[in-house]
Amino acid sequence: MIRDTQVLVCIAISILFCSGVSADTKPLIKSGDRVVFLGGTFVERMQNYGHVEAEISSRVSGVTFRNLGWSGDNVWGESRAVFGTVSQGFERLQRDMTLAQPSVIIVSYGANEAHAGNAGLSRFVLGYQTLLDALKLHEASVILVTPRYYENLGPPLPDPGGYNAKLKLYIDAIDSLATEQNLPVIHLSKPESSGQAGVKHELRPKSWRVLPAHSGLTNNGIHLTSQGYQVLARQIADDLKLPKSIFSVSGMQGTNVNISDYIALPDSIRFVMTPTRIVSLDMSGHGNDEVKANLVHLRFDGLRPGKYAIYIDDTKLARVTANQLKIGVALPSSFQHATAKRAYELTAAKNMMFFHRHRPQNETYLFLFRKHEQGNNAVEVPQFDPIIDGFENNIQSIQNSTSYRVEIRRS
Amino acid sequence: MRTVKVIVACLLSCVFVATSVGQRGLKEIPSVDPIVELKSFLIAEGFEVNLYASDPRMAKPIQMNFDPQGRLWIAASESYPHIKPGEKASDKIIIVEDVDRDGVAEKTSVFAEGLLIPTGVVPGDGGCYVANSTDLLHFQDINGDGVSDKRRVVLSGFGSEDTHHLLHTLRWGPDGWLYMNQSIYIHSHIETPYGVKRLLGGGIWRFRPESMQLEVVCKGLVNPWGHHFDAWGQSFATDGAGGEGINYVFPGSVFVASPGEPRRLVGLNPGSPKHCGLEILSGRHLPENWRGSMVANDFRANRVCRFEVTEDKAGYRSKQVEELIKSSHQAFRPIDVKMGPDGAIYIADWYNPIIQHGEVDFRDERRDHVHGRIWRITAKDRPLVKPIDVGSMDIDELLETLTLPEQWVRLNAKLELKKHDHVAVVDKTLKWASKRNASNPQGAHELLEALWVLQCVDHVDAALIEQLLLNSDHRIRAAAVRVVSHQRSRLPAYRRYLSITVRDEHPRVRLESVRALSSESDLAAVTEISSVLEYPMDRFIDFATWRALRETKQVWLSTVEAGRYSFNGDSNKLLYALESVDSGNVAPTLVNILKGLQFKSDGTQRVLRAIASSGGANEARTAIAWVLTNAKTEAAAGGAILVELIEEFRRRRVRPAEIENLVELMSNAGPAYRSAVFATAGAWKLDKYYVLLAKSSTETENRLVQAQAIRAIGLYQNEAARNDLSRIASGNDEVSAVAAIEALAAFAIVPAAKAVLLMMQRSTMVETSAALAAVLRNKQGAGVLTTLLADVTISADVAKTAVRTAQRATGDNAALIDSLRTAGKIADSGWKYSEQLVQELATAALNNGDPHKGQAVFRRSSLQCMLCHAIGGAGGKVGPDLVSIGGSAPVDYLVESLIAPNRKVKENYHSIQILDVDGQVYSGVPVRSSDKSVVIRDAKNELVTILKVDIDLQKEGRSLMPDGAVDALTRQELIDLVAFMSRLGKVGDFEISKNAIARSWQQLLWTDEAHHRINRTSLDTAASDDTALTWAPFYATVQGDVEIGELAIFKPRSNVDNVSFIRTQLDVSEDGGRCTLVFDDGMGLLLWVDGTPTPVSGNRCELQLKRGQHTITVGVLRPVREKQLMLNLEVPDGEPHVQWSVSE
């Protein structure tokens, strides 16, 4: 059953068509960019929860991504040291960055370092400066992302108040560093005010059978859930100054949509619609508001008055009047869900392949001090490159060549 | 009870026909039919085995755990050891179920998939936790269809540098925390709300999912693939690569191969094969004498071992007894063992003819990726235990199950109680506890269970804790102290408890208290930690205390340095504390301690050595002067310790203040100090004494003095030294020449190399090894010598020995070896690696090799195998213990490792090469390191300490196994040797006995001096520590026999029988240790214990010994005894621990 609320009459479509680009709204990512993410667990888990990649791709086409997240890492590359010293971890960071060939580097450090509090602050700033200097060699634009404040999810998880106070110092330091070096900076959260200190909890929870109640964005106060990444992805894309894509069809003209096989009759219109990129959809199944944000706008003039049904690939999506169509209607883009889901899965698979490429299991035998034993199998590692390219091509082609048959028929 | 489902098995064997054909042509691929495997089992008396579950419904089980409903959860990986490019990770979590409870599973389902080499699974929190590559995951089935539909990353950042080291061995502790292990190559960096937790190398983690608290319990162990708790919450671990059997684990313990740790604990069964999995048996189904036994899998040797572990003061002792099951089937790879819901023992059989990971190619087609079995072992004619599903019980019923003898039921009940209303659980538990009788052991244990329940629901009850801290059973008190340590932040009186328990009458309670106090940060805690030193120490509490003082050094060190704290003036404690740290300005304090001592007091040498390793110029002066003043009647001992001190100060570049004055004092103090004078003069290049040294360097009548003088001259490193040493080096006196070349090689490589060449050209001198080795220790040595050899001819024999020396020396000597061969006109007759040769020899070894002859080849002294390799702990430690090499390595790998040793090197045996600031090269396997120094074991099985400040360059080295080690062997000898190695670790003639046989001996070598001494005195001299006697390591055969024929023979006088001497050592843990030495036959044997002649009655000798080390010397009268002898040690139960000594 189709509910009328799912069809929204476009109120001021024209506004959406004019978006001037001024200096401080210049998008930080452009078509063709290779974006490399660098950081700790927050970045590492983006490999599997690819919402940020999806969101950026829904706004700019032709962008590729490499994820260099490594849990527990910091500006010194400590987690990357493996058997070596911390400075060797830092060297590895450089090598992996070279492998990733960035044109844009999005760096997110500070969350782990902040546990050291005020005492560790100057060392952190120095380390971050050193890192930024080193990244200059890659001739990519650098964007800083500040860490998120921990959420207070109540006991038995710890009260993050103390940590968040320390983190504030580090976020301020990152801000100063960004100002000094004239780098854009993205903030992921604001500290919780005392009035909104997390979810209300009994002092002693009755039981924690599964998990403590949580906000939905994190499940442990510090690491994002899939939903958390999805919500944050939109914020990050906004802060990257990437305008939301408008998908619209007006007569034979499409915006971000290619139209073909267009047949208009007095009682019906048929055409094939191929969006040039896909909207990022709500993967979790909730969050209707977000679905509403991604719409496909349709406007047709010249149909006979009366009621019309809109079909996409033979599925009836809505019922509208000729008059509504003349003013403009907006369809929820849920028809793209399957495609978006497929792209999302391919993104995770692509990231896994790159993981095997830059941080393969059994490194000890492939590249390190036991390479004389299994080093012969190291030839397999670069074999991941064409596989990664293949996944990327797949993702691109899903994003710009999935077609939908649209039929608007008097009923 | 059916033992095997025959029909299923027949079907299975049909399924496998295709696979078998595919593997035909490969070597040693046994039949994959489970019936064939079943028939190969030899099982302990009174037990039987049946096939519980098998492929094709499940493949490659790695870890398994039962859930409270009795379903078996299995982590299974077909993609191990390494994912292929483009392959999608598709490994699984499988649930196997025996629905009709007939002992054979009939239902299998996949709970979760898409995993990448999952190495651990444990049910819990409404689903299961899975160790998956870099993550710990939690899977849940929300909609109830039996398949996970919710996947959550719980922790990330575990290392993945090696897929058989990944996070593994998931276990719930009695405290309701999840315990997890990782292996040696793993470097983990885990973000938690409390900060990043890092663990580099092996160890055990402790994790509470609800609060995300994550702690490291212990560090080290190569592959800690087994971990279990005993009934009192004490932890034990096994190691799949370190060979020390059962390891007793306590918080803060450190074991083998933990990076940056200067000291570690040794396991309870040194010399034992390696194990995977560990289960402590319990429950009414098993015979009484099996309960409490620990079982662990020796997957290399296709057997499941059993250990009896008993208390030994703060720690435990462990004795290996009869196996639970063993097999000759080479693909039987038991890797996990768990008690099941019916009280039977379940064995996960990974089933694979290939187990090596690094050493065998990832893509070796013999690797099995499809099979896997679960075997079920039951006691014959004993009723099974009725499975208990705690999921259907209320709180009261759950509490009642805590009285049951089945440990897994009690654990399930505790975990289940976490799911109930916590307020109700606390109330009911306290009520239940109040009805227990703390004065009987069962009641006390039930109270401990109650305490753990409270810990599981995170409730603190001081009253119950106090009650248990006062219990008469020390095991209960120790467990209560552990809980105090865990809950300290909410126990107002915890420090009061610890200040009492640290003085408990039982050492384990003291040990737990010391560990609890080690995270405190006040001097009162330090004083309490040190108070345990007032009680008898054993190796466990000694380690715990040493580490606690090391960990608290921030608290006490600076106050000690400032003179504001002195461990209440107790110099023993102060010294102990100072020895536990390797930093800080502690020397002035040490000097103060020294001033209060007599030369012969206990601890004097320790204080002097501590000063030598930390003192500056003034302390050095004071220490040396103190020895000269105080060693009056002990001049020989004084001289010896002075040489040691001076050597250490020289290494640390500390020049004692007023050195000229000191050396003057030494010169006047008598001949006992002559060595010290030489050492001092050389160390600080004192011109005044050069003439004396030069004179002494020609005194051939006292070789010791001469050698010291020559060495001291070398330290001057000036023109005079160069000239004088060059002259001696090229002289006719061989002994002087070698010493001079050694001294010269360190600073003047060209004359040293020239002198060696001269030696080689003198055809009468064949033995140039020591001099050549010294030259090759210099980084330029090989190059210089190669150049000098250009137009020179040497004899073929000299060339051969020189090539052997060069092959065994550090560094790349390929060019030198070539020029030696040219100079000696000898061909390279060694084995040349080729795949074809390896295959040929491997096939020949299988078909025509004689393992008994092979053992003789292995024991040949010219091959020096035993210098580096032990079998079952008997032998050197440079290379891996070969005790189960045949069970683990395919034959072609054995051949390859003999003829091309550098192609594959076993983990933990990779050498490092160090170039020091003087241009000397050291090569060895790292043993331990501290902030200041690195200790390596060199190719001569000797430990070498190198100060970190002296290291110029450090790099990865090669295998210490020399190329060409087996070049001298004939084809048949090599084939026999391989045949011998391939049998090691397999059931049969070359199995290591579980008896406590003396395997590591020393034999008395025949030397002129020894002959004269024994000739002039009595045979008793051989049992004394007379320095004229030279002893060399000697090892028993795999079977435990001392091959008498290999021993040196003494013929003291014409009227006395020929005799050979061997000796070994016993360690006794406390006074009054009773034990019996049992010879295979007492005929023709003489026995001394600590030098005292001791009669052997029949073949036995009963002893009662004091705490410490004791020497057992055996004289073998020949030809009364000509073949072999075996000495076994029997220790009655309940006696203090007595065992054969283990050297580092």
Percent of chain B residues past pLDDT 90, beyond the cut? 61
* Confidence check: pLDDT of B635 > 50: yes
Instruction: Give the per-residue pLDDT at A107.
Output: 98
How near does any CA of chain B get to the CA of A156, in Å? 5
Q: Do A71 and B140 touch (CB under 8 A)?
A: no
Q: Look over chain B and give the mean of its residue pLDDT values, rounded to a whole number.
A: 90
Determine the Cα–Cα distance for residues B1059 and B162; give it in Å rounded to an integer. 53
Per the structure block, which two tokens stand in for A159? 């009260």
**Mean pLDDT over residues B773-802, rounded?**
90
One domain for residues A338 and A266: yes
Amino acid code (one letter) for B333: R
Residue B93's pLDDT band (cuts 50, 70, 90)? very high
For residue A259 the two structure tokens come to 């139209």
Q: Which residues fall within 8 angstroms of residue B455, CB to CB, at 6 or more apart?
A: B175, B176, B483, B486, B487
Q: Choose among B210, B211, B362: nearest Cβ to A377.
A: B362
Produce one character per residue of B779-813: b if its CB has 16 or more CB atoms within 10 Å, e if not: bebbbbbbebbeeeebbeebbbbbbbbbbbbbbeb
Task: Map B578-614 to HEC letters.
Answer: HHHCCCCCCHHHHHHHHHCCCCCCCCHHHHHHHHHHH
Measured CA distances, B734 to B60, B711, B809, B1033, B1134 (Å): 63, 16, 22, 27, 58
pLDDT at A336: 82
Q: Both A234 and A250 in a single domain?
A: no
Instruction: Specify whether A146 is located in the same domain as A263.
Output: no
User: Does residue B14 surpass a pLDDT of 50?
Assistant: no
Q: What ipTM, to 2 d.p.?
A: 0.90
* pLDDT at A197 > cutoff 60: no
Q: Measured between CB atoms, which of B153, B163, B956 is closest to A45?
A: B153
All residues of chain B having their beta carbon less than 8 Å from the beta carbon of residue A359 are 160
A285 touching B (Cβ < 8 Å): no
Q: Of A177, A208, A239, which residue sits at a domain end? A: A239
Mark whether A198 and A280 lie in a shared domain: no
Domain with residue A179: its CATH number is: 3.40.50.1110
Model confidence over B676-733: pLDDT tens digits? 999 999 999 999 999 999 999 988 877 888 999 999 999 999 999 999 999 999 988 8
Contact state of A70 with B84 under an 8 Å Cβ cutoff: no
- Report how many domains make up chain A: 2
Q: How confident is the model at residue B763 (pLDDT cuts 50, 70, 90)?
A: low
- Best B185, B361, B415, B902 residue to mutate vs chain A (most A CBs within 10 Å): B185
| Burial state string for B122-131 with b = 16 or more CB within 10 A and e = fewer than 16 | bbbbebbbbb
Q: Is the pLDDT of residue B114 over 50?
A: yes
pLDDT digits (tens, 9 = 90+) for B425-437: 999 999 999 999 9
Phi, psi dihedrals of residue B340, rounded to the nearest 5°: -100, 175
pLDDT band at B1014, cuts 50/70/90? Answer: confident
Express each pLDDT in B1066-1100 by its tens digit.
988 778 878 999 999 988 899 999 999 999 988 99
Burial class from Cβ neighbours inside 10 Å (0-12, 13-18, 19+) for residue B994 reads middle
**What pLDDT, in 10s, does the model give residues B176-226?**
999 999 999 999 999 999 999 999 999 999 999 999 999 999 999 999 999
Chain A residues in contact with B191 by the CB 8 A cut-off are 40-41, 71-72, 111-112, 222-223
Rounded to the nearest 10 degrees, what angle do helices B422-434 and B441-456 cross at?
Answer: 170
State whether B362 and A370 contact (CB < 8 Å): no
Any CB–CB contact under 8 A between B1115 and chain A? no
Do B973 and B994 contact (CB within 8 A), yes or no?
Answer: no
Confidence label for B872 from pLDDT (cuts 50, 70 and 90): confident
Q: Which residues of A touch B421 (CB under 8 A)?
A: 206-207
Interface contact flag, A374 B361, Cβ < 8 Å: yes
- Do the beta carbons of residue B156 and residue B116 sit within 8 Å? no
The average pLDDT across A362-369 equals 78
**A80 and A137 housed in the same domain:** yes
Question: Where in the sequence is the domain holding A278, given as residue range(s)?
Answer: 1-14+244-411
A residues 12-41 closer than 8 Å to B (CB): 40-41
- Determine, for residues A372 and B212 on separate chains, whether the beta-carbon distance falls below 8 Å: no
B621 burial via Cβ count (<10 Å: 0-12, 13-18, 19+): buried
When CB atoms are compared, the residue of B157, B363, B419 closest to A72 is B157
A53, A1: one domain: no
Neighboring chain B residues of A374 at a CB cutoff of 8 Å: 358, 361-362
Is B210 close to A156, i.e. CB distance below 8 A? yes
Q: Look up residue B731 and give its amino acid.
A: G
What percent of chain B has pLDDT above 70? 96
Strands ordered across the beta sheet of B203-208: B168-172, B178-182, B203-208, B213-219, B253-254
Q: How many alpha carbons fall within 13 Å on the CB side of residue A32? A: 0
C-alpha–C-alpha distance, residues B874 and B1033, integer Å? 10
| Same domain membership, residue A252 and residue A219 | no
φ, ψ at A253 (rounded to 5°): -95, 135
Task: Please tell me whether residues A94 and A216 are part of one structural domain.
Answer: yes
A217 and A285 inside one domain: no
Residue A143 has pLDDT above 60, yes or no: yes
Mean pLDDT of B565-571: 90
Is it the case that residue A294 has pLDDT exceeding 80? Answer: no
With bands split at pLDDT 50, 70 and 90, how would you rate the model's confidence at A289? very low
Which A residues, 341 through 370, put their C-beta within 8 Å of a C-beta on chain B?
Answer: 349, 352-353, 356, 359, 361-365, 368-370
Write down the pLDDT at residue A292: 46
- Contact A394/B at CB under 8 A: no
A33 — pLDDT class (breaks 50, 70, 90): very high
Q: What is the pLDDT of residues B944-988, one digit of tens each?
A: 888 888 888 888 777 777 777 888 888 899 999 999 998 888 878
* pLDDT value for B407: 97
pLDDT surpassing 50 at residue B3: no
Q: Cβ–Cβ of B85/A384 closer than 8 Å?
A: yes
Confidence check: pLDDT of A198 > 60: no
Spatial separation of the C-alpha atoms in residues B760 and B767, rounded to whole Å: 9
Q: Is the pLDDT of residue A125 over 90?
A: yes
What pLDDT is attached to residue B876?
A: 84
Same domain? A70 vs A173: yes
Structure tokens at B97: 């179920």
| B 882-911 near A (Cβ less than 8 A) | 902-905, 907, 910
Last residue of a domain, one of A208, A239, A270: A239
Tokens 């405290």 sit on residue = B175
Report the pLDDT value the prediction gives residue B344, as an integer from 0 to 100.
98
Chain B interface mutation, best of A79, A153, A352, A361, highest count of B Cβ atoms under 10 Å: A361
With an 8 Å Cβ cutoff, are B903 and A44 in contact? no
Instruction: For B784-856, list the strands marked E by DSSP.
Output: none
Contact criterion met (CB < 8 Å) for A362 and B82: yes
Pairing of strands A104-108, A34-39: parallel
Least-confidence region, from A3-12, A101-110, A269-278, B908-917: A3-12
**A2 and A73 together in one domain:** no
CA-to-CA distance for B1057 and A364, rounded, in angstroms? 59
Are B830 and B964 spatial neighbours (Cβ–Cβ below 8 Å)? yes
Taking Cα atoms as reference points, which of B145, B143, B291 lies closest to residue B230?
A: B291
pLDDT recorded at residue A411: 85
Tell me the residues of chain B between 100 and 119 that have a Cβ less than 8 Å away from chain A.
116-117
Does residue A267 sit in the same domain as residue A317? yes
Q: Is B1053 exposed, middle or buried (0-12, 13-18, 19+ CB in 10 A)?
A: exposed
Q: Which of residues 176-215 of B touch A (CB under 8 A)?
A: 185, 187-196, 198, 208, 210-212
Q: Which of residues 144-173 of B touch A (CB under 8 A)?
A: 152-153, 156-157, 159-163, 166
CB contact under 8 A, B191 and A364: no
How much is the average pLDDT of B1032-1044? 91
Closest CA to B476 of B511, B502, B447, B500: B447
Q: What is the pLDDT of residue A333?
A: 73
Is residue A21's pLDDT more than 60?
no
pLDDT band at B300 (very low <50, low <70, confident <90, very high): confident
CA B361-B362-B368 angle, 5° bins: 105
Q: Considering only residues B471 and B914, tell me which one the structure prediction assigns the higher pLDDT.
A: B471
- pLDDT-derived band at B541 (thresholds 50, 70, 90) equals very high
Q: Which residue has the tokens 């100072």?
A: B578
* Residue at which a domain ends, from A207, A239, A271: A239
Residue B904, pLDDT > 80, answer no
**Residue A20 burial class via C-beta count within 10 angstroms: exposed 0-12, middle 13-18, buried 19 and up:** exposed
Q: Is A151 on the interface with B (CB under 8 A)?
A: no
A365 against B637, higher pLDDT: B637
Given pLDDT bands bounded at 50, 70 and 90, which one contains residue B12?
very low
Measure A270 CA to nearest chain B CA, in Å: 40
- C-beta of residue B765 within 8 angstroms of C-beta of residue B795: no
Q: Between A and B, how many residue pairs show a Cβ–Cβ distance under 8 A?
A: 158
Closest chain A CA to residue B158: A71
Cβ neighbours of B921 (radius 10 Å): 21
Of A325-339, A361-375, B696-710, the range with the lowest mean pLDDT is A361-375
The token pair at A149 is 């404040």
Q: What is the pLDDT of residue A9?
A: 45
d(CA B182, CA B923) in angstroms, rounded, equals 29
Mean pLDDT, rounded, for B289-315:
94
Say if residue A6's pLDDT is above 90.
no
Residue A2 in this model has a pLDDT that exceeds 60: no
Residues of A in contact with B194 (CB under 8 A): 115, 158
